[in-house]
Amino acid sequence: MTSIGIIGSQGRMGVALAAAISEAGQRSCGVDRGGSVAKLAASADVLVDFSSPAALEATLDACVAAAKPIVIGTTGLEERHHYLIDDAARDIAVLQTGNTSLGVTLLAHLVREAAARLDPEYDIEIVEMHHRGKVDAPSGTALLLGEAAAAGRGINLATCSERGRDGVTGARGHGKIGFASLRGGTVAGDHDVIFAGPEEMITLSHRAENRMIFARGAVKAALWLIHQKAGRYTMSQVLGLSDRAAAPA
């Protein structure tokens, strides 16, 4: 039986993770604000973190010290957090993703394939909606899908995206990837990737009906990660999907 440690075990995702771990026949343990992440890392076989970017550095330090792998599903990460993850991945196995859903992982693969095969005349727009309490935008999933589209096109998302259009913005930039964020109600997470081409439109979509899809995916990732050597991994690897886009037809 694998012991999976939960960072933020009393939060909404923490509760869902505990249920998913039990469902998978494994054992859960956890820590919350004020508790010792170091003690949790020492006792667990692998950790899962959906807490906050502010706590990530201390969590990574504890995992490296205990030589334990970690799945990071926390969103709102900045560039410096990715540097910290890269550094930790020299010593331990780290899987970081904007979404642990198996369906979203497959969607990202399809988006990358579509972006590679459709020419730049197909404009790419990503629309996401989440509950009123979500604090970051675009969502981590939307950015994950944007990165997949950019990889398919062979472009850099950081320099080829459009966000927050308002007022007289001028015509849409050719080859840009657009983002729109909606907030309201109790929506767990809806995402549409639109390929708007000449006289036709293709939409690839995912609807999250319950947080359990993220929890189950995270548990699958954690059980996979404990068998990996030090390095940085993705959900695509958990499903055995290629991270490389197909060549344009």
The residues assigned a catalytic role are 130, 134
* DSSP reduced 3-state for 164: coil
What CA–CA distance (Å, rounded) separates 76 from 136? 6
Residue 232 in tokens: 């940085």
**Complete edge-to-edge strand list for the sheet that includes strand 27-31:** 27-31, 3-7, 46-49, 70-72, 93-96, 231-233
Residue 231 in tokens: 């390095």
Cα four-point dihedral sign 138, 142, 140, 129: positive
What is the pairing mode between strands 161-163 and 123-130? unpaired
Question: Which of the 8 DSSP states describes residue 100?
Answer: -
Contacts of 123 (CB under 8 A, 6+ apart): 172, 176, 178, 194, 195, 196, 197
Q: CA gyration radius for the chain?
A: 19
